[in-house]
Amino acid sequence: MSISILIDANIYLGLYRAKPPRSVLDSISRLDHVFVSEQIVDEVTRNRVRIAATAFAENIGNIKSAKSIPLPDADESEVEMAAVVTNEVQKFNSAAKALKQGYAQAMLKLLRSIQKGTDPVSVVLRPLFLRAVSATHGELTKARRRRERGLPPGKPGDPLGDQLIWEQFLTRCAGVDNIVIVSRDRDYVERHLDELFLNPILERDIRNTAFGAAVTVFDTLADALPFVLARIRAPVPIPAAEALAMMKQQEQVVLPVPMEAPARCPRCTSNEGFIGPIPTRGTGGRWSSAFVCVACGARATVEE
């Protein structure tokens, strides 16, 4: 049975905001039937530090400080108790600040390893990415025509990227029996009534290229891995259900395009840098992003 698999760049990037179980990473490393293009490798490499930094900022943002509550009309004993509570709150806040600073320093070290490609996820992906395929002149021509016509995937005003990946993938689909697409990009798939649907234009492309092939779409690696491993009979066991469930929960976080960090911290005026962004959607649907100062742990918010 022949199979062709496309894993979108946003799926690979999701591995950098999660902590994938080792069994999941081992499975990914054995997927010999995955198509990888130079464009996918470039996109993952370009964005992996930013994605990881966003996840780290969310974690550091969960380290909260406590607030003391004044006691109105307090008698002498209550005043003494309030003083004790205030002292404990100050100790707690000092510990929280130190924890934030320590976490930030540890994360900066990890971000540097991600930048160099020496982190665990990059090491696992390296053999897969070394097989990246260059586009032919014909595929480039088809991709440009696709963008000019406004056909998915990709947007007409964006650089030539998704269109080129898709035209290259179609070349690899010719004559195969099974086609698997893993993506959260709405140019590829959409979820309706808890079911995933491939974009009809892309469905038509596949039917014209690989008539009769079975097409299956996923929006998480956790769902795709058991399906794919069972069909390619890879010499590696399917990850345990618990590991896949953990992976799926981490993959289902969808992030907006991040905003720029302030030049300086509004509290301590340091320009040592920020961890972030931590994206938040408001009640009106607008996004804001919080950035955590590396020097003092204060949060600075940037509106959309």
Q: What is the CATH number of the domain that holds 267?
A: 2.20.25
pLDDT-derived band at 132, boundaries 50, 70, 90: very high
Whose tokens are 């698997």? That residue is: 180
146 and 14, same structural domain? yes
Q: Is the dihedral of CA 8, 226, 114, 262 positive or negative?
A: positive
- pLDDT per residue as tens digits for the range 233-284: 667 778 888 888 888 887 876 544 445 677 788 888 887 777 666 666 554 4
143 and 50, same structural domain? yes
- pLDDT per residue as tens digits for the range 83-97: 777 777 778 778 878
Domain tally, the chain: 3
pLDDT-derived band at 106, boundaries 50, 70, 90: confident
Q: Residue 296 belongs to what domain range?
A: 256-304
Distances from the Cα of 91 to the Cα of 59, 66, 78, 217, angstroms: 21, 10, 20, 52
Q: Is the pLDDT of residue 303 over 80?
A: no
37 and 54, same structural domain? yes
Structure token pair of residue 125: 């992906």
261 and 136, same structural domain? no
pTM: 0.76
Q: Is the pLDDT of residue 286 over 60?
A: no
Whose tokens are 């596949």? That residue is: 206
- pLDDT per residue as tens digits for the range 26-74: 888 778 789 999 999 999 999 999 888 888 877 777 777 766 555 555 5
260 and 247, same structural domain? no
Structure token pair of residue 282: 């408001």
Q: What is the pLDDT of residue 94?
A: 81
Q: What is the pLDDT of residue 252?
A: 74
198 and 279, same structural domain? no
Pick from 21, 2, 1, 13: which is nearest to 247 by CA? 21
188 and 129, same structural domain? yes
Q: Is the pLDDT of residue 121 over 80?
A: yes
Q: What is the pLDDT of residue 74?
A: 54
pLDDT-derived band at 79, boundaries 50, 70, 90: low
165 and 186, same structural domain? yes
Q: What is the pLDDT of residue 272?
A: 75
Mean pLDDT throughout 143-169? 91
Instruction: Name the residue with higher pLDDT: 292 or 163.
Output: 163
Pick from 116, 109, 167: which is nearest to 138 by CA? 167
Helix, strand or coil, per DSSP, at residue 50: helix
Query: Which DSSP category does 289 fall into?
Result: E
What mean pLDDT, rounded, does the chain reach? 83
Beta partners for residue 5, in sequence order = 34, 180
Structure token pair of residue 293: 């100062």
Structure token pair of residue 215: 């097409």
Instruction: Name the residue with higher pLDDT: 23 or 40.
Output: 40
- Contact between 28 and 251 under an 8 Å Cβ cutoff? The reply is no
Q: What is the pLDDT of residue 7?
A: 96
Q: What is the pLDDT of residue 213?
A: 94
Q: What is the pLDDT of residue 257?
A: 46
22 and 165, same structural domain? yes
Number of residues that make up the chain = 304
Q: What is the pLDDT of residue 56?
A: 82
Q: What is the pLDDT of residue 157?
A: 77
Q: What is the pLDDT of residue 150?
A: 92
38 and 14, same structural domain? yes
123 and 35, same structural domain? yes
Instruction: Name the residue with higher pLDDT: 99 or 38.
Output: 38
281 and 242, same structural domain? no
Instruction: Name the residue with higher pLDDT: 204 or 276.
Output: 204
Instruction: Name the residue with higher pLDDT: 243 or 189.
Output: 189
Instruction: Name the residue with higher pLDDT: 261 or 135.
Output: 135
Q: What is the pLDDT of residue 182?
A: 96
- Contact between 8 and 198 under an 8 Å Cβ cutoff? The reply is no
- pLDDT per residue as tens digits for the range 161-185: 999 999 999 999 999 999 999 998 9
Task: Report the amino acid identity of residue 165.
Answer: I
Q: How far is it between the farthest Cα atoms of the chain? A: 86
How far apart, in whole angstroms, are the C-alpha atoms of residue 31 and residue 219?
17
- Contact between 9 and 40 under an 8 Å Cβ cutoff? The reply is yes
